[in-house]
A = this chain, B = another copy of it.
């Protein structure tokens, strides 16, 4: 039985990237490595839509979130954190560890933050230094309005720090145009690499904040990363094979273009949402991200049991809901431009069969038919606009 993964990361690694990572490992103190690192820097700036420095860390995305806290904030600093799911809560956990005074803006799971609530909180609380937000909240499938948060942050002159681990490269995020100070992502999501690298873009405002930060840092020091990068180096031994894969995928992303990649994710997400509705399922996220489609389980069907059956009988992995929504929602990812319409058809085929097995009352095939209609329509529109 083959395995099909629709959990939100790791995402598919292309044959070209696998080939690039299989070449002899470059020495990380060589001219070839430096040349590659400089190329990678340019590619990352394109992906992040920024002129800022984009630093590469050999860590997971959570490591880069921690790096952001220790480089930019000090004990006693006051911040707002938008908490609309498990990954928003991670900002609060990190602030607690480093003595940062965090005010959580709790948002019901499945909803995006209300910008007025953030504005009010900035108004009523003195000396807020930063807003910490999630871009695409992986636990619920919600997309937050980073553009609006950016406008607010610029108006109030606070830092805007965004965890875009799952969202970057799938949903638009204009770091410079929207005034975002820090954007964090990981290698195993929109970049379609194996896990092991994380990336952080740092604005001039963020660099100034780092000058006064009193938290201890060594491995995660932004300063060391930046001064090394200027010499074409990394401060410590990096995950070189992953960097070789990164160079390859960034070439591909620049060749294809971000606009095309975002449009592709929108079609995959639209097709998946159409299918789930046709199967009589309700969407969980009120403002859905194009990273994943989160749907509520029908009365009487446990998501955990359904997913176990799909994995065992069809080899298909879809993610369970998290925390209090475990078993009550399931999450189907369509993340990475190599995920195509046929992949989503596989996910929906397996989901249909699983639901039929557990007695859900719907017409077997209705989800697939809805995808076919959606794709046929998209194709017709594309053809009309092309010619």
Contact = CB atoms under 8 A, between A and B. Distances in A.
A363 B376 CA distance: 12
A372 B345 contact: no
A1 B372 contact: no
B353 A375 contact: yes
A contact residues, range? 20 to 34
Nearest to A1: B340
A356 interface: yes
A231 interface: no
Dominant SS at the A interface? Answer: helix
Contact of A365 (B2, B340, B372): B372
A373 interface: yes
B376 A364 contact: yes
Nearest to A342: B346
A22 B210 CA distance: 48
A366 B369 CA distance: 7
A379 interface: yes
A178 interface: no
Interface string A346-377: 10011011001100000111101111110110
A314 B343 CA distance: 12
A316 B342 CA distance: 10
Contacts of A364: 369, 372-373, 376
A12 to B, nearest CB: 9
How many monomers of this protein are in the complex? 2
A379 B353 contact: yes
A208 to B, nearest CB: 45
Contacts of A4: 342
11 contacts: A4-B342, A313-B379, A315-B340, A345-B368, A349-B371, A357-B379, A365-B369, A365-B370, A365-B372, A366-B369, A368-B368
A363 B368 CA distance: 12
Given A313-B379, A345-B346, 19 more contacts: A2-B340, A314-B342, A342-B345, A342-B346, A342-B349, A345-B345, A345-B349, A357-B376, A364-B369, A364-B373, A365-B365, A365-B368, A365-B369, A365-B370, A365-B372, A365-B373, A368-B369, A368-B372, A369-B369
A338 interface: yes
B346 A372 contact: no
Contacts of A376: 353, 356-357, 364
Contacts of A352: 372
Most chain B C-beta atoms within 10 Å of own C-beta, residue among A316, A346, A372, A379? A372
